[in-house]
Amino acid sequence: MGNPVKIGVTGANFFYGGNQALHDVHVQIHDRCVTALIGPSGCGKSTFLRSLNRMNDLIPGTRLEGRVELDGEDIYSPAMDVIHLRRRVGMIFQKSNPFPMSIYENVAYGPRVNGITKKRAELDEIVERTLRGAALWDEVKDRLNRSAMSLSGGQQQRLCIARALAVAPEVILMDEPASALDPISTAKIEELIYELKKDYTIVIVTHNMQQAGRVSDETGFFLNGRLVEFNETKRLFTAPANRETEDYITGRFG
């Protein structure tokens, strides 16, 4: 993989109170690539994903030991501005969570509250650009003042992606972004991921191995809180180096 490293994780151990959820994870995530994380339920992949923008900080009693770097900077340093970090590293959740306001205001909210701009003309430009970036503009341009709740599930998820793009992140984390969607909406999300990687680093958790194979450049297989194997996606799926990886991708367990 010729792209530079965007996120470097060294010796990451993560704890929920006394329960250890991640064990000694080492990985390098490359810039402007799609990295998929696969593994059975409860294996630590979502915990790992949330550790990349410190979303786990919101859960009392959690702690991370080890080092997570974004462009070489330790994101767990006391000097790190966590709000700024989460602007740089956006998050798309499994269930779409649009705000109970208009389509326009969902996208304009982030630039407003983060002080990017409050000027209407600039907000108009950001809203159009990011809705286009999320492949949603043509479907909603004539009803921007309608409630976001009037959109279909797939449209709501793309709106949430537009909302994340509006604050100009560098990395987009996606936690099973298509698991609640129908096949047509899922295909649109996958096409969108393929387009977005031209400008963003994307890390996606998915239970769908076919999806991982379709959208990702590199894949990591988690099991029992450990990163068992990490490689180029094609190589991991066709010639896994580890027996546990092979058992999982061939359906022997999980």
Over residues 240-249, the pLDDT tens digits come to 999 999 999 9
**E-assigned strand segments in the chain:** 5-16, 19-30, 34-38, 62-70, 73-74, 89-92, 171-175, 201-205, 218-223, 226-232
Residues β-bridged to residue 182: none
Q: What's the rounded Cα separation, in Å, for the pair 153 and 142?
A: 19
230 phi and psi angles, rounded to 5 deg:
-140, 130
**pLDDT (average), residues 86-103:** 95
Average pLDDT, the chain: 95
Confidence band for 163, pLDDT divided at 50, 70 and 90: very high
Distance of CA 161 to the CA centre of its chain: 10
Q: What's the rounded Cα separation, in Å, for the pair 108 and 123?
A: 6
173 phi and psi angles, rounded to 5 deg:
-95, 135
**pLDDT (average), residues 43-63:** 96
What is the identity of the amino acid at 169?
P
214 phi and psi angles, rounded to 5 deg:
-75, -40
Strands 218-223 and 201-205: unpaired
Q: For residue 252, what pLDDT is reported?
A: 81
Over residues 188-211, the pLDDT tens digits come to 999 999 999 999 999 999 999 999
Q: What's the rounded Cα separation, in Å, for the pair 206 and 46?
A: 9
CATH, range 5-249: 3.40.50.300
Strands 201-205 and 34-38: parallel
Q: For residue 157, what pLDDT is reported?
A: 94
What is the identity of the amino acid at 118?
K
C-alpha angle 18-24-27 in degrees, rounded to nearest 5: 135
Q: For residue 254, what pLDDT is reported?
A: 56
Containing 113, the helix (H) or strand (E) segment is helix 103-113
Neighbours of 69 (CB within 10 A): 17
Q: For residue 141, what pLDDT is reported?
A: 97
Q: Which residues contact 83 (CB under 8 A, 6 or more apart)?
A: none
